[in-house]
Structure 1
C-alpha cells in the first residue's frame, strides 16, 4: 500500500511565497552573520592591537576573544526575549527587529575610537555593543529557520531549513572577503588605522537590503494556523523548561561539536596560522574564504540529503569525523604551507557542513509547532554559550598553557562525543504535527 506524501493534507503554498521565504531567510541571516563574522575576524586580526594592546600576540588575543565570547554569552537574552515573542506575535515581526539591532550595533563598532584615543572607554563600549549584537543574533536564528521551513513541505524540511544555515557561511565569506581585500590592497598602517572600519560601516547598506526583503514577506502558514486556532502559548519558555527538558537537552548537545569545530576553522585558525605557522593574514583569510565558499554548496546539499536518509544518522557520522579531523589538521598544518592549510580548512568546514546542514531541521523537529521559536532559540543560544562562546578563548588558552596542539584537538573530540549524546536523546521528525495543524478546521480552539 503506497505511503502518503509527507505534505498530504497541507494547504498548497504559493511557490513565489516559498521562494521569497527561502530568500528572506538566506539573505537575512547572511547579512546578520556578515556583521557577526566581520567582528570575529577583526577580533583575531586587529582588536588585540587597537583595543587590547599587549606585548605578546597570543596574550593580546585572549581579551579580544573574550569580547568575541560576550556575543555568545548575550545570546540567551535574545533567545528568551525574542523566542517568546516569536511564538506569541509571529516570526516576521521579530526578525525585522533582530535585523535592525545587529545592523545598528555593527555600524557603531565601525565608528569606535581606539584604546590609544580614549583609553579604557574603548574596550568597554566595544563589549557593550558586542553584547547587543549577540542579543540580536540570539533571537534571529530560530525565526530564520522557521521562516523558510514553515513555508515548505515538512518532508523536505532539511533542505528548506538549510537556508538559515547557509547564512553563516555566506556571511563569513562576505566578511573575510572584504577584510582580505582591504588587507591586501592597503598597507599595514592604513588597514589598522581605518581600513578595518570599512567592513563594519558597509553593514548599513547590507542591512537595508535585508529589511526590504523581509518587510515584503507575510508570516508563515504554520504560525497563521496557530493564531487562527488560538494555540499561541502564553509562556512558551516556561512551558519548555517545565515539560520539554529532554528535547531541549538533545537540541543543545547537538550543537556543541558544530559550534566548536566552526570556531576552530574560522576564528582560531586565523590566530594559529599567523602566530604559529608563520603565514600572512591574507593567506589565512584566503583559506577561510575558499572553505566558506565550498560550504555554500555543501550545507544545502547536506540538508537535502538528510531528507532522503535518516537525519540523525547522517549528523552522527559527521560528528564522529569532527572529533577525528583536528588531530589530522594539526599534524598536517605545521610542516605544510598555505596550500596545506587551504585543504585542511576546506575539509574541516566540509565536515562541519554535514552537521550544520541537517542541524536546523533536527533542532526544530524536537519541539511542537506552537513552541518551535522559543525551543529552537533556547537550544541555539544556550549551546552557543557552552560551545561557540568559549571555543576561541579555550583554543588559545590550551595552546598557550600546554605549548602543543594535542589539548585543542582533544577539546573538539570531547564536544563530538557530547553531540552524539544529544543525537541519541533526540527524536526523528513527526510530519503529522504540521499536517494536522494546517488541515484542522478554523473553529477548533485549544485553551
Structure 2
C-alpha cells in the first residue's frame, strides 16, 4: 500500500478530530459561557464553561482504554473508524443543542454529555493515528512519519478557529450568538464522512498483522500494559505534564487571557493563535525528520529547556503590544513547543511493544491530558487575583516543565533503543516465503 495514502489517512482523520475538539475550546470562551452557563458574574460563567472544556480532557483516558483495547485486539483501523463516528456525531449534535434560555438546566447537561463523548473519542484517536503512521514507516524514517499525524493539531485548530472567525465576519454579533456559531459544528458531519471514506480504503498496519498471525494478541491490553510496561506509562505521563500545561494555555486559554486580561480584541487573539499554528505546520515535519538523525531525546530535552527558560519572558512580551504577542505565539507555540510535539508521538510509541502499543501509548498520554485539561479552571481565578502576572503564570509553567525535564533524562534514546521491531521488513519477507 502506498505510504502517501497511509499518511494522508492518518493526518486527515486527525485534522477533523482536532477540528471538532478545538472548535469546542474556541467556542467555550466566545459563546458557551453566555448561552449555556448564564450568570450575573461573568467570571463564574466562564469558569463553569471551562469546566465542561476540562471534562473533555478528563474523558480521554476512558477513551484510551476502550479504543486501545479495540486497537490492540481488533486492529488499528477498526478503532480509528469508531473514534471518527463518536467525535463527528457529538459535534454535530452540539450544533443542534437548544440554549439555557430555551430549555433551562437540560441545555448545559446535554452539552457536558456530548463533550464527554468527544473526549472519549479523541482519547482513542491520537494514539491510533500515530501508530497508523509509525507502524508503516520505512526503517530510519519513523520520526518523520510519526510527526505527520501531529499536524492534525495545528491544522484542526486553524480550521476550527477560521470557521468561527469567518462566520463571525459574515454575521452581526447578534446573529453569530443566535445561530452563526452552530454552522461549523454542523459542518463537521461532512468532514467526518470524508475521513471515513479515506480510512475505509486502507489496510491494517504490518505490526498488528504480524502480532495476529503469531497469535500474540493481548487478552486484556490495559492489564498487560501495567504488568509488563507500567514504568513506560508513568514516563509518558510525566513527560507530557510539563509541555501539556503550556499547550493548553497557548492553544486554548490564550484566547480568554488575551481578550479579558491583556485587553486585546477577539480578532487579535485569534490571529495570534493562527500565526502560532501556521508556524507549527512548517516546523513539525522538519523537526520530525531531524529526529531520525539527531535523536528524539535530544530534541525533546532541548525543547523542554527552552520552554522553561522562556516561560516568564513569553508572558512579559505578550502584554506589551499585539506585535510582541504575535511574535511570542510564533516562537513559543510554532517553534519551541512544536519541536517537542513533533517527536512526542514517536518517542512515546517506541516505549511499548506492539501487542499493547495502542493502549500504553494512548493511556499514558491521555492521563496527562486529563490533568492539564483543567488548567483553565486554575488560571481563571489566578488571573482574577493576580492579573496577567508574568511571574505567576510563568512560574506555574516552569514548575510543570521541571518535572518533565527531570524525567526526560531517564528515558532511553528511542531512536537507538526502542520496543519496535522491523515489523514491515519481517512481515513482507514472511509473505514472500509463503508465496
1:181 paired to 2:170 = no
Q: Offset of 1:420 from its aligned partner?
A: 1.3
8 Å CA contact 1:57, 1:275 repeated in 2: no
Correspondent of 1:427 among 400, 412, 419: 412
State how far apart, in whole Å, the 1-side matches of 2:179 and 2:324 are: 32
State how far apart, in whole Å, the 1-side matches of 2:140 and 2:128 are: 19
1:395 paired to 2:379 = yes
Correspondent of 1:225 among 169, 194, 210: 210
8 Å CA contact 1:22, 1:163 repeated in 2: yes
**Aligned residue for 2:107?**
122
Q: Offset of 1:402 from its aligned partner?
A: 3.2
State how far apart, in whole Å, the 2-side matches of 1:422 and 1:185 are: 48
Structure 1 SS opposite 2:141: helix
**Aligned residue for 2:6?**
21
Deviations 1:155-204 (A, max 9, x none): 21111011221101110010011111122232111111111111111101
State how far apart, in whole Å, the 1-side matches of 2:253 and 2:419 are: 42
State how far apart, in whole Å, the 2-side matches of 1:272 and 1:431 are: 40
1:439 paired to 2:426 = yes
8 Å CA contact 2:22, 2:160 repeated in 1: yes
Structure 1 SS opposite 2:352: coil
1:253 paired to 2:244 = no
8 Å CA contact 2:303, 2:336 repeated in 1: yes
Correspondent of 2:310 among 325, 329, 336: 325
TM-score by length of 2: 0.94
Correspondent of 2:279 among 285, 294, 297: 294
- RMSD between aligned residues: 1.7
> How many residue pairs get matched?
426
Q: Gapped runs of 5+ residues in structure 1?
A: 1-13
**Aligned residue for 2:319?**
334
1:346 paired to 2:333 = no
Further displaced range: 37-46 or 242-251: 242-251
Q: How does 1:33-432 map to 2 (within 5 A)?
A: 33-336=18-321, 338-349=322-333, 350-387=335-372, 389-405=373-389, 406-429=391-414, 430=417
Structure 1 SS opposite 2:136: coil
Q: Offset of 1:252 from its aligned partner?
A: 1.3
**Aligned residue for 1:8?**
none
Structure 2 SS opposite 1:234: coil
The 1:224–1:58 alpha-carbon spacing in structure 2 relative to 1, beyond 3 Å, is same
8 Å CA contact 1:364, 1:372 repeated in 2: yes
TM-score by length of 1: 0.92
Q: Offset of 1:376 from its aligned partner?
A: 0.5
8 Å CA contact 2:136, 2:424 repeated in 1: no
State how far apart, in whole Å, the 1-side matches of 2:323 and 2:166 are: 19
State how far apart, in whole Å, the 2-side matches of 1:442 and 1:236 are: 26
Deviations 1:216-237 (A, max 9, x none): 0000111111111111111121
8 Å CA contact 1:257, 1:322 repeated in 2: no
Deviations 1:329-357 (A, max 9, x none): 22122231x22221111112121101000
